[in-house]
Structure 1
Amino acid sequence: MPADEYQYERIPTTDEKRKFPREEPTSDVRELHRRLAQDPRFNPPTPSPWKRIALIVFLISLLYLGLKLRLNAIQKLETEPSVVHANRYSKDFKYRPAASPIITERLKDGRTRLRGAVPTAH
């Protein structure tokens, strides 16, 4: 293969060919600001207002979603006991345990099931 096919460009070794010549380091703040203003790589254009608003709305919705999921996870960890109420004493005989206590259970679908002696409406 002939060497003419490849077009190589040498890396510049002097400051003359550089797009942005190197300058001596300095601690002068004004000079540093001037150098930053000259180089467009350090001065990107600001994003449009709708992009800023979209980012803020996205972050707020992400925060809301995270809090909502966290609260749902906490509620699922706090499982309710299957037996909500067991009344061993009837209203007529307060000091004698009932032969069949009234047990109220809350089912998974939200319904309440009564077991034992059905309470009377006294």
Structure 2
Amino acid sequence: MLKIRSTTPGTTSLLSATSLQSIQFVDVADNRAVGEVIAFGIPENYQSKTSGNVYRWFQYNQAGGIDPTALPGWSSSMRGIPSLSVVGTGVLVALLALVGSFYIRRRGVLSGN
């Protein structure tokens, strides 16, 4: 495999791509593609691998997850939908239940008034 690395480990180097590339057998680390995504899909589709800290290579972002800007059909007008974690959702449900029970008691529905 061809290893593509930054000269300073842990610091990303930049690689400019003006169009989709046809690559195979690369091992990429500490590299940020600017312009076009280097290759769509997962590294295994290209007999390649990522060794960390890559951006816009395949469909991975800096955190190692899928990069939505690398997906076909992505548009800059698209926005993520904020959401809560499981714990945050549980806390929100508990607070809503508490407020609801307070409201019901205040209105006298539970006491028969």
| TM superposition score normalised by structure 1 | 0.27
Bigger Rg, structure 1 or 2: 1
Larger helix fraction of residues: 1
Q: Which has the higher contact order (CA 8 A, sep 6+)?
A: 2
